[in-house]
Each structure stands twice: as structure tokens, then as C-alpha cells.
Amino acid sequence: MIIHFVHQSVDGFIEGPDGEFDWPVMGPEMSAYANALSRDADTFLYGRVVWEMMSSYWPQAEEISDHPHDLEFAPIWREKSKVVVSRTLPDPGGNARVVRDLADLRDIPGTLLLFGGSDLAAGLTEAGLVDEYHIFVHPAVLGGGKPVFKDPSRRVTLDLVESRVLDAQAVLLRYRRR
């Protein structure tokens, strides 16, 4: 099972026009949801760009941040096995490995949790490999940037299985592929 977990603005972007990702707010409810989802996953899944961002922060997050979410998530991140989908990244070492072909993801047992990454999400959606989408819509209009979904070539029909407001500001939309 692959779950796409993503934060987006009201106007559908995962980062602003200059690549900024300073607008999502991790309140206590959202943090609890995200950390529970992360604990339940067997493997974290990334594209190269998001991997480079995550792997530069989470190994030493406690030295950089005192935010309660960061302090709780950092040990979860370090413990989980990770898969990076990339044609160019060398072996990242540790408990991470590179997969070059999307079809190889079918051979990985358990639940894979995809964090952001519109290119990889688009490829996985196109291949019919995403089983659920957990989309957090934040109260921000970015006016441009990187869209959550890059030009799908076909329609994907989903069923809404959950919606709720978290921390009185963001909306969780959880969809399952039909």
C-alpha cells in the first residue's frame, strides 16, 4: 500500500513561487495525526529532491529546532526504513536505499508513506500505485509555485473516506483510490 501524505495551499501548491515551504503550521492535532501515520508506516518513500531536504534536516533536527513536532518526529524518521526513487542518486546508506524503477515498489512489503514530491506523486498516480491520499489543505494562497499534481494524463477517481479540521485551521482530506 502506498499513501501520499502532502501539505498544500488552498490554491493547490506544495511550495511557493520561490520554493518556500514556510506556510504549513504543524499544530498539536496535525502533528499527532502525522506522527501516528508515520509510526504506522513500514517505509518512508521519497523522490530525490524531497529526500535531500529531509536527509539534511531530520538526522539532527533536535539540534536545530525545539518545536514539539520536530522533537517527536525526528526519532521516528531515523528509525524507519526509507526508499528513494531516483535515476541519479547514489546509494544513500544507512537505512535508506535507492529504487530506480517505479514497478519495483510493488515488491516492497507493507505500507509505504510518500512525503510530498509532486514529480514522484505524479508518476505513482499515473502508474496506479497510490492507494490513499492524505492531503492537508492549509489556510494560505501562494499564488503560484509547484502544484500538488502535475498534469495527469488521465482522470483518477477517488472516494472521500475522511475529512476533518485540525487545529482549527487546516483541513485533512483523505481519499482512497477506487
Q: How confident is the model at residue 149 (pLDDT cuts 50, 70, 90)?
A: confident
Per-residue pLDDT for 7 more than 90? yes
Grid coordinates 492537508 are at which residue? Answer: 136
Q: How far apart are CA 178 and CA 173, in angstroms?
A: 16
Mean pLDDT over 83-93 rounds to 91
Give the integer Cα–Cα distance in Å for 73 and 32: 10
* Verdict on whether the full-model pTM lies above 0.75: yes
Residue among 59, 86, 85, 84 at smallest CA distance from 70: 59
Smallest Cα–Cα separation from 2: which of 147, 159, 115? 115
For residue 34, what are the contacts with CB-CB under 8 A and spacing of at least 6?
A: 5, 26, 69, 73
**Burial degree of 116 (CB within 10 A; 0-12, 13-18, 19+):** buried
| Interval 41-68: pLDDT, tens | 999 999 998 999 899 999 999 999 999 9
For residue 135, the cross-strand partners are 6, 173
C-alpha cell at 23: 506556510
pLDDT band at 152 (very low <50, low <70, confident <90, very high): confident
Q: What is the predicted pLDDT for the residue at 91?
A: 86
In the predicted structure, residue 153 carries a pLDDT above the cut 80? no
Neighbours of 107 (CB within 10 A): 7
- Domains present along the chain, CATH in parentheses: 2-177 (3.40.430.10)
Q: What's the average model confidence in pLDDT over 10-31? A: 94
User: Could you give the percent of the chain with pLDDT greater than 70?
Assistant: 100
Average model confidence (pLDDT) for the chain?
94
**How far is residue 9's CA from residue 104's CA, in Å, rounded to a whole number?**
31
